[in-house]
A = this chain, B = another copy of it.
Amino acid sequence: MVRLTVQRQAILDLINRSNQHWDAEELARCLGENGEQLGIATVYRGLAALENAGLIQSIQLADKKRYERADKGHHDHLVCIKCGDIEEFCDNKIESRQQQVAQDRSFQMTGHQLLIFGVCQSCSNDSRESETP
């Protein structure tokens, strides 16, 4: 299993204390600001190790990977194309239909990722305000 070095523990603690979806750079910066400065390569390796161990989870966005706490369990995401905000949801009907789809094709599913893109509530309020009525 993973060796929980001070560096990895720092990464894990920060992620577990928060509710965000962190990218490697943000994480390194935040740790640095809190006196826990670690090399960017160590952050990438630490994140990979922690994810392998199931201690954190991630989502792959178009440009970068983002990590979050694993104790929330599996869920999927709504991504706002205006502000980048990420909301979460889990729909059991969707989850079970996916199993079915895979089974129907003799495809041994190991995982999945569902991203819903669009405009979040707060962003659509913002644009409504600035309309010419």
Contacts and interface: CB of A to CB of B under 8 A. Distances in A.
Contact of A102 (B110, B111, B118): B118
Contact of A119 (B110, B113, B118): B110
A121 B93 contact: no
Nearest to A85: B107
B117 A114 contact: no
A110 to B, nearest CB: 5
27 contacts: A78-B101, A78-B102, A87-B107, A89-B101, A93-B93, A93-B97, A94-B97, A94-B98, A94-B101, A97-B97, A102-B116, A102-B118, A105-B121, A106-B124, A107-B121, A108-B118, A108-B124, A109-B116, A109-B117, A110-B117, A110-B118, A111-B116, A111-B118, A113-B113, A113-B117, A114-B114, A114-B115
